[in-house]
Amino acid sequence: MDALNNKPPTRTAFGDLPLTITVPHAGELLGIGRDAAYAAVANGEIPSLHLGRRIVVPTAKLLALLGVEQ
C-alpha cells in the first residue's frame, strides 16, 4: 500500500516491464540478492518458466504476487 493515499501500487510504479524478466531482475525488484532469488524460484516462492536452459519470471504473475494492480 502507498502510505500517502492508502492505494495499492500500480503497474506504472514499476515502469514498463516486459512480459518476462530475468531471475536477477525479479530479485532486484523484490529487494533480494541474485542467489536468494534463484533459491526462491527453486522452492516455488517466485513464479517462473523454464525455457530450455533459461529461467524467466512472468511479470504479470510476479506483480500479482506482490498485490500490484495491472
CA distance 46 to 5: 28
Confidence of residue 70 (pLDDT cuts 50, 70, 90): low
- Better pLDDT: 61 or 10: 61
In a domain, 17, yes or no: yes
Question: What is the pLDDT at residue 6?
Answer: 63
In this prediction, residues 4-11 reach a mean pLDDT of 59
In a domain, 22, yes or no: yes
- Domain with 52, as residue range(s), is 11-65
**Residue 50 bridge partners (DSSP):** 55
In a domain, 52, yes or no: yes
Count of domains for the chain? 1
In a domain, 15, yes or no: yes
CA distances from 29 to 24, 55, 66 (A): 9, 16, 10
Question: What is the pLDDT at residue 10?
Answer: 57
In a domain, 5, yes or no: no
What pLDDT, in 10s, does the model give residues 9-60? Answer: 555 566 688 999 999 999 998 999 999 999 999 999 999 999 999 999 999 9
In a domain, 4, yes or no: no
